[in-house]
Amino acid sequence: MGNLLYIDLGDLLTRIEERYGLSLPRRIVTAKYDRYTGSLIIKFRRRTPMYEDTTWDGLVKLYYGEGGGVVALKVLDISML
């Protein structure tokens, strides 16, 4: 992937949901892709995360807000999805 314009974020979120059994928001506030590491950060809300969790394979970090909903996520290497 060269830059964020070539990443289908909707498809990526669907693949994450299916792989990990999650339900993720579809309203994205910001997304930032690092082409050197292949990592991608997606923020769904402009809230400070209260806690984080990592998926069973360590590929995705999920950040949760006060009410327990996902406010952001970080994919460590999108080529692995």
Note the pLDDT of residue 2: 66
**Structural domain containing residue 13:** 4-80
Tally of structural domains, the chain: 1
Query: Percentage of the chain with pLDDT > 70?
Result: 98
The average confidence (pLDDT) of the chain is: 93
Sheet of 51-54, strands arranged across: 30-34, 39-43, 70-75, 60-64, 51-54
pTM for the full model? 0.91
Triad 56, 78, 5: Cα angle to 5°: 145
Residues 20-49 pLDDT 10s: 999 999 999 999 999 999 999 999 999 889
